[in-house]
Amino acid sequence: MKKTILILLVMLTVAATGVFAQTKWKINKADVKFKIRNAGINVSGSFEGFKGKIIFSPDNLAGSRLIGIIQTATINTGIKGRDRHLRKEDFFHAIKYPVIKMKSTKIVKEGEQYVAYFDVFIKGVTKNIKVPFSYAKNGNTATFKASFKINRRDFGVGGKSLIMSNTAKIALNITAAAS
């Protein structure tokens, strides 16, 4: 009887470990793009050098974590003068606030997609933002794609400009390998 209970406990432990195991993903490539309307024209750009940590399993969303860090000085709109201006105090103030950080606080599944709630830190301000995303796994690689909007004024970016939209559209596309 003792042997049976011991074997049963071992089997339950092994099964539980498999169910609650998390996959750590090593980021191979990350694209961070944005679009905002300014003076009636859509301005597109990107940030380079995305770094992050992905611990994600669809079977254990409660134990999943997503963290992203972007260097504000890497902003690129294709116009060097504008990029220099965006690094200044009235926009990203890259010298004082060199990074934008995102850290998930909760991840849930809604229909066919996932939703992560992130604490987003920009220019000394932290706001919780809802970010819907997709996850597609192919062998040992996965793609995470998100598209969401943020209000630039919530973070003190761009001042009270009347010709610039308050809403910026953000698109993330991350390819990662299981590690």
SS3 64: coil
pLDDT for 10 equals 45
**DSSP at 88:** S
pTM of the model: 0.86
Backbone angles phi, psi at 133, to 5 degrees: -150, 160
The tokens describing 138, both together, are: 């192919």
Residue ranges covered by each domain of the chain: 22-178
Residue 9 has pLDDT above 90, yes or no: no
Tell me which of 2.40.128.110, 3.90.1170.10, 3.30.540.10, 3.30.300.30 is the CATH number of domain 22-178. 2.40.128.110
**Predicted confidence (pLDDT) per residue in 69-121, tens digit:** 999 999 999 999 999 999 999 999 999 999 999 999 999 999 999 999 999 99
Query: What gap in Å lies between CA 94 and CA 117, rounded to an integer?
Result: 25
**Predicted confidence (pLDDT) per residue in 15-48, tens digit:** 444 455 789 999 999 999 999 999 999 999 999 9
Percent of the chain with pLDDT over 90: 85
Task: With residue 6 as reference, give the H or E element that holds it.
Answer: helix 2-20
**Predicted confidence (pLDDT) per residue in 110-164, tens digit:** 999 999 999 999 999 999 999 999 999 999 999 999 999 999 999 999 988 889 9
